[in-house]
């Protein structure tokens, strides 16, 4: 294990986080909200530690998959710990565990909050809260790869560990260029959303909500979330952008280079579209009697379905009071999630497609044992090692879900609460059902439960294995 | 596809079912409960159809895996349809769908009931209800293999499709002898339990409860289940026998032939034992404050843990009012289930062990990519095809669980009810939480939900693929 390279990479990350914290500091100056030290202290700490760690001669940067996992896993925990400081120092979130939970929820783009009154927070902290979504959406280490000098060829392992989906690939042959293309698309889409939102929202609201949409995070600056604005225009813009940010970014790249044909052919994208349409239709039919008007039902159902299936978690209606069928469907959509290689969460549609194909293949094989068929995706056969990987992913997911539920159950909440809390945190969505419904919050969970849910959020965002490996004692025995 | 062999095998099964129905007919004569025709009509029907189907010249008996799946899948559905007739004809269960649900629940050893007043049933029907558990526990087709003449070598496929666990093997080289050994152990253990129960129960109660224990079914003849007797002796006997029937029968065979050493070495058996002890301890600690006495808590917790983990489903206390931790633990135990090759249900402990080992292997591999390690079970490496099979099993299980929950949600019951109803039916346990708790029943579900749950029970008992294959249109296209 190349411990030095791990330290060096994390040191770099700390410096970047210090840089990112200057943005909310500027916001604090603009609004004169007096939170200067809440940002200056962590910036000072991050820079000091960052430079101390990276001060020595640059180590051998040769790293492999395991170092990639460890760098990513550790980075996200450390980043959340330091990112929690502004909330804690300002005393706007007086409990450190709550501040840590909120920050991890931000970076992982979960959007689960411990705040009972969001609007009580100052401008700069609400900005930072939304900004964590934007940083976490595409990945801070991908950001480092894209914009910091001296990133080595082996950094593919870091990118693989931080990106989502069963088959993480480079868009172009160089990792650095790939990272830059991803961030270019990400920044461009975010700016376009801000512009659209500006027609009906103040600049501050537009920026923070665009951050939360881009990362498919879901932190709003209003207690009532998007329902506060009660505007069909805003809901439509956000729905469209949530959907866009749930698409595999390779699709946008293909469109950018003029290869629209291949972009539309993407199997995952097609299913993403079909699932969205079918789910909206089903929820609209199921909820029609609640609203009595087709237009109103469609308005709420389409927003909520897209919000949940992209794992953003914004809400315009307390879906906890919807009929059970719609609620169950939302939970299933949340588990499935959005496309791989997007900022959305969940198991990812490509994984689910492959799961279904594996079952179909098993059935076909039982019927015709001599006809060997391979599982294909986008018309190419999927490698056996990837099939194994995604099978293991499901096993690990179910294990985390059950163990998580069991620990949460010590708090005495309902079975539904515990189940949906773990699912929504794993999918990086935010709201669940019952006591974690869209109008509730996570403040009253015990410290243990909050730590478990934070672990689950990180495991969900980093696709489990970086977190599991980090907590394997064996990992730290050998060098 | 060898359609003729399928018909021939099912024809034989119908004749056997007619034979089995003579037992409750005799009970009806003994107790003069007037249900003669309720049994005579189905017996007549079964014999007529059975002989008509098998009357022709015996067909080519060459069958393979797919015919094995189809024979088993179809047999269990047809067997449940005919088995429902006594309840329906006697008008003691006036709705046919309810009678079908009850019978399928019996044969699959689930023990989920639609009856609101069990004790209102006549002696012969309660006997038949318990007897279905006993028949289904070891498998009716295994019974046919053991005791009917002219069973061919290819019948291993039937046995594989009807038996439980990831690696179904023959105890001895001949399938027929293996089936006979299994039934010998099964009958012997049942008789021993009857004898033990006779000390504190009437003969009728002893026999029916021994049937329900042997099949790990859970149908009691009392509304209050085992709580009715309020006897520590009876609870202890039933706890011990539930535990015994949850052990892989190969272990008993090894003990019978004097190979106790190898029997105790069984990895699955050891984990089964450890899980039971740990779970009882945790539930006892968690529920202590409810009962205030260590002895009383241990009495209820040990009975309930063993009942649920073997997927029997007997109850001595309404565990729906236990603390959430204990309830969640029970649901997880129910999902895990008992040992492969036992009459118990669930995913089976051996599968769960292999799942965990697969994850451990994946982590080890990430840390040391050059150290190739195989997943081992009972110190032997597990074949890759078996690993794939059990991965696919989990995918299919989760799919059935989610789709089942979604359909059930149309009835408007709670999320917890729907989730635990599907889990408990899949695991062939019986009780779940909320509206399907131990003191509730399944009568108020819609016809659609009852059909879905029946499918789930059969999928659980036959380990999914026979049922999935049966409902694959492709299956029926080719010959």
Model confidence over A293-328: pLDDT tens digits?
999 999 999 999 999 999 999 999 999 999 999 999
Q: Residue B479 above 60 pLDDT?
A: no
% of chain B with per-residue pLDDT over 70: 97
Instruction: Identify all chain A residues contacting B397, using CB atoms and an 8 Å cutoff.
Output: none
Can you tell me the distance from the alpha carbon of A389 to that of A348, in angstroms, rounded to the nearest whole number?
14
Can you tell me the distance from the alpha carbon of B429 to that of A202, in angstroms, rounded to the nearest whole number?
57
Q: Residue A152 above 80 pLDDT?
A: no
State the smallest CA–CA distance between residue B476 and chain A in angstroms. 10
- Give me the pLDDT at residue B255, please: 92
Can you tell me the distance from the alpha carbon of B327 to that of B436, in angstroms, rounded to the nearest whole number?
13
Bigger pLDDT: A55 or A108?
A108
State the smallest CA–CA distance between residue B165 and chain A in angstroms. 17
Q: Could you say which residues from 430 to 469 on chain A have a Cβ atom under 8 Å away from some Cβ of chain B?
A: 433-434, 465, 468-469
What are the CA-CA distances from residue A262 to residues A258, B86, B153, B378 (Å)?
9, 62, 53, 49
Q: Spell out the residues 6+ positions from residue A252 whose beta carbon is closer than 8 angstroms to its own.
A: A185, A189, A263
- Give me the pLDDT at residue B58, please: 72
- Give me the pLDDT at residue B96, please: 97
Nearest CA in chain A to B476: A367
Q: Is B332 in Cβ contact with A409 (below 8 Å)?
A: no
Q: Is A414 in Cβ contact with B419 (below 8 Å)?
A: no
Can you tell me the distance from the alpha carbon of B242 to that of B214, in angstroms, rounded to the nearest whole number?
7
CB A128 within 8 A of CB A85: no
Interface A-B: count of C-beta contacts within 8 A: 155
- Give me the pLDDT at residue A282, please: 98
Bigger pLDDT: B370 or B405?
B405
Q: Residue B478 above 60 pLDDT?
A: no
% of chain A with per-residue pLDDT over 70: 96
Share the mean pLDDT of chain A: 92
Mean pLDDT of A100-112: 96
Share the mean pLDDT of chain B: 92
Q: Find the length of chain B.
A: 479
Q: Is B363 in Cβ contact with A468 (below 8 Å)?
A: yes
Could you tell me which of B358, B445, B407 has the C-alpha nearest to residue A398? B358
CB B10 within 8 A of CB B54: no
Q: Is A358 in Cβ contact with B395 (below 8 Å)?
A: yes
Per-residue pLDDT of B255-272, as tens digits, reads 999 989 888 888 999 999
Mean pLDDT of A357-370: 86
Per-residue pLDDT of B192-238, as tens digits, reads 999 999 999 999 999 999 999 999 999 999 999 999 999 999 999 99
Q: How confident is the model at residue B152 (pLDDT cuts 50, 70, 90)?
A: low
CB A142 within 8 A of CB A120: no
Can you tell me the distance from the alpha carbon of B203 to that of B189, in angstroms, rounded to the nearest whole number?
16
Q: Spell out the residues 6+ positions from residue A408 whose beta carbon is closer than 8 angstroms to its own.
A: A417, A418, A421, A422, A445, A449, A452, A453
Can you tell me the distance from the alpha carbon of A93 to that of A442, in angstroms, rounded to the nearest whole number?
13
Give the pTM.
0.95
Secondary structure (H, E, C), chain A: CCHHHHHHHHHHHHHHHHHHHHHHHHHHHHHCCCCHHHHHHHHHHHHHHHHHHHHCCCCCCCCCHHHHHHHHHHHHHHHHHHHCHHHHHCCCCCCHHHHHHHHHHHHCCCCCCCCCCHHHCCHHHHHHHHHHHHHHHHCHHHHHHHHCCCCCHHHHHHHHHHCCCCCCCCCCCCHHHHHHHHHHHHHHHHHHHHHHHHCCCCHHHHHHHHHHHHCCCCCCCCCCHHHHCCCHHHHHHHHHHHHHHCCCHHHHHHHHCCCHHHHHHCHHHHHHHHHHHHHHHHHHHHHHHHHCCHHHHHHHHHHHHHHHHCCCCCCCCCHHHCCHHHHHHHHHHHHHCCCCCCCCCCCCHHHHHHHHHHHHHHHHHHHCCCCCCCCEECCEECCHHHHHHHHHHHHHHHHHHHHHHHHHHHHCCCHHHHHHHHHHHHCCCCCCCHHHCCCCCCCCCCHHHHHHHHHHHHHHHCCCHHHHHHCCHHHHHCC
């Amino acid at each position: 294990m190349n411990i030095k390279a791990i330290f060096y990479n994390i040191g770099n990350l700390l410096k970047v986080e210090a840089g990112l914290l200057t943005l909310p500091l500027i916001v604090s100056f603009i609004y004169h909200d007096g939170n200067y030290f809440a940002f200056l202290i962590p910036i000072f700490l991050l820079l000091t530690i960052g430079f101390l760690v990276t001060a020595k001669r640059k180590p051998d940067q040769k790293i492999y998959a395991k170092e990639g996992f460890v760098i990513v896993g550790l980075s996200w925990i450390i980043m959340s710990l330091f990112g929690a400081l502004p909330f804690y120092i300002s005393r706007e979130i007086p409990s450190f565990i709550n501040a840590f939970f909120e920050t991890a929820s931000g970076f992982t783009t979960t959007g689960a909050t411990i705040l009972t009154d969001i609007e009580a927070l100052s401008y700069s902290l609400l900005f930072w809260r939304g900004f964590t979504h934007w940083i976490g959406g595409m990945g801070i280490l991908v950001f480092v790869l894209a914009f910091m000098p001296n990133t080595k060829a082996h950094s593919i392992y870091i990118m693989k560990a931080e990106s989502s989906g069963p088959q993480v690939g480079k868009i172009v042959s160089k990792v650095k260029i790939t990272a830059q293309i991803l961030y270019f698309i990400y920044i461009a889409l975010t700016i376009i959303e801000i512009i659209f939102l500006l027609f009906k929202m103040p600049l501050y609201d537009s920026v923070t909500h665009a951050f939360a949409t881009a990362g498919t995070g879901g932190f709003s600056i209003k207690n009532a979330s998007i329902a506060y604005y009660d505007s069909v225009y805003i809901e439509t813009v956000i729905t469209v952008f949530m959907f866009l940010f749930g698409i595999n970014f390779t699709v946008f790249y293909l469109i950018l280079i003029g290869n629209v044909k291949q972009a539309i052919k993407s199997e995952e994208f097609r299913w993403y579209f079909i699932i969205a349409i079918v789910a909206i239709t089903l929820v609209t039919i199921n909820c029609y009697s609640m609203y009595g008007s087709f237009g109103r039902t469609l308005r709420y159902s389409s927003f909520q379905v897209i919000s949940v299936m992209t794992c953003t978690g914004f809400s315009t209606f307390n879906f906890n009071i919807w009929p059970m069928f719609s609620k169950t469907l939302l939970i299933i959509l949340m588990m499935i999630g959005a496309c791989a290689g997007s900022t959305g969460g969940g198991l990812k549609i490509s994984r689910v497609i492959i799961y279904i194909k594996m079952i179909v293949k098993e059935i076909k094989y039982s019927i015709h044992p001599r006809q060997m068929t391979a599982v294909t995706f986008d018309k190419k056969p999927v490698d056996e090692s990837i099939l194994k990987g995604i099978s293991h992913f499901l096993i690990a997911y179910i294990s985390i879900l059950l163990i998580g539920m069991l620990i949460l159950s010590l708090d005495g909440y309902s079975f539904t609460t515990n189940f949906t809390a773990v699912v929504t945190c794993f999918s990086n969505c935010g709201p669940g059902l019952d006591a974690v419904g869209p109008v509730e919050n996570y403040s009253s969970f015990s410290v243990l439960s909050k730590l478990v849910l934070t672990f689950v959020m990180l495991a969900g965002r980093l696709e489990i294995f970086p977190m599991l490996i980090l907590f394997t004692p064996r990992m730290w025995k050998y060098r």
